[in-house]
Amino acid sequence: MQKISLDFSKQAVEKFMESTSQKVPDLIYVIAVLTIGIYVSRLVKRIVYKFLLKYNISKGITNFIVYGIYITMLSMVVMTCLEKIGIKTTSIVAVLGAAGFSIGLAFKEILSNIGSGMIILFFKPFKIGDYIQGSGIEGCVEDIQIFSTVLKTPDNKTIIVPNFKLTSDNIVNFTHQEIRRIDFSYNIAYDSDIDLIKEILSNIFSEEKRILDDPKPIIGINSIGNNSIQIVGRPWVYTSDYWDVYFDIMERVKRSFDQYNIVVPLIIGMINEKIKQ
C-alpha cells in the first residue's frame, strides 16, 4: 500500500514537472512581452507628448491623447500575454460587454464627466488661462482634466469643478475676446450740469491711452429715476487692461467730481437730513 502511494506521488511530481517545463518558454515569453510592452508604451507616451507640445496643442487635449494611447497599448500587451498563457480573452471581453450596462449606470456621473471633458477639450469653450464663470463659481482656469476643471479664484483659492456641471450650465468666458467694454454708471442730482459731466468723462477717456479710439466710447443719460439721473460711460479696452483701467478711471472721476462740486443723491439726502434736524 505504501509502495502504491509513493508511485502515485512520483507520477504526480513527474506530471507537474513536465507541464511546468512545457510552460516555461511561454512564461518567459509573457514576461519578456510584458516588460518590453510597458517600456515601449512609456516611450511612445513621452514621444507623443513632446510632439503635441511642439505644435502648441493645448495641455488638456495633449493629456487626453497621450493617456488614451498609453492605456490602449497596455491593454493590447496584457491581452496578448493572457492569450499566450491560455486564458481566452474573448470570454473576458464578453463578460465586460455584458457588465457594461451595469457599470454605465453605476458610474453615470463619472462617464458624464469624461464626456464633458472631451467636449471641453475639443470644442474649447475655454482654455487654460481664461477667466470664466459657470455653475455658480468663477475663476482663472488652471488645468483641464478628463474628470474635472481646476479654477483659481482672485483670492488664490483652488476650486475643482466636475466637467459635467460646467457643460450643463451657461459659461461666461471673460477673457475669450481680445477687447472688452467697461460699463461705468454715475447717479447724479437733477440740478447737475449734464454737459459738464459729459465733458469731464470725455476728457478722462481721451486722456487715458489704454482706452481704444475704435470702438468709440459712449457717454449719455441711461435713465431718469425718482431721485437721480444716471449717466453712463462705456469705453473699450484690451482685455488684459480691463481692471487696471477700471480702477484708475473710477479714481479720476471721483477727483473730478469733487473738483467741480458735483454731488450724488446720497450726499444730498444726508444734507437734507441735517437741515431737518
Question: Per-residue pLDDT tens for 213-229?
Answer: 999 999 999 988 877 89
In the structure, what pLDDT confidence band is assigned to residue 99 with cuts at 50, 70 and 90?
Answer: low
End-to-end CA distance of the chain: 123
Residue 9 lies in domain? 2-106
Q: What is the pLDDT of residue 277?
A: 40
CB of 217 within 8 A of CB of 236? yes
Does this model's pTM top 0.75? My answer is no
231 and 270 share a domain? yes
DSSP state of 209: T
155 and 202 share a domain? no
Q: What is the pLDDT of residue 16?
A: 47
Q: Is residue 119 part of a domain?
A: no
Distance CA 265, CA 252 (A): 20
Q: Is residue 256 part of a domain?
A: yes
In the structure, what pLDDT confidence band is assigned to residue 14 with cuts at 50, 70 and 90?
Answer: low
Of the chain, the percentage scoring pLDDT greater than 90 comes to: 38
Residue 94 pLDDT greater than 60, yes or no: no
Q: What is the pLDDT of residue 205?
A: 96
Specify the 3-state DSSP secondary structure of 211.
strand
Q: Is residue 73 part of a domain?
A: yes
In the structure, what pLDDT confidence band is assigned to residue 76 with cuts at 50, 70 and 90?
Answer: confident
100 and 8 share a domain? yes
CATH code for position 49: 1.10.287.1260
C-alpha to C-alpha distances, 253 to 34, 149, 176, 249, nearest whole angstrom: 71, 39, 29, 6
Q: Is residue 79 part of a domain?
A: yes
Where do the DSSP E strands lie in the chain? 131-134, 137-144, 148-152, 158-162, 171-173, 179-181, 184-188, 218-224, 229-234, 236-238
> In this structure, what C-alpha cell is assigned to residue 262?
458735483
Query: How many domains does one find in the chain?
Result: 3
Nearest to 119 by CA among 167, 151, 159, 162: 167
Q: Is residue 111 part of a domain?
A: no
pLDDT higher at 110 or 253: 253
146 and 80 share a domain? no
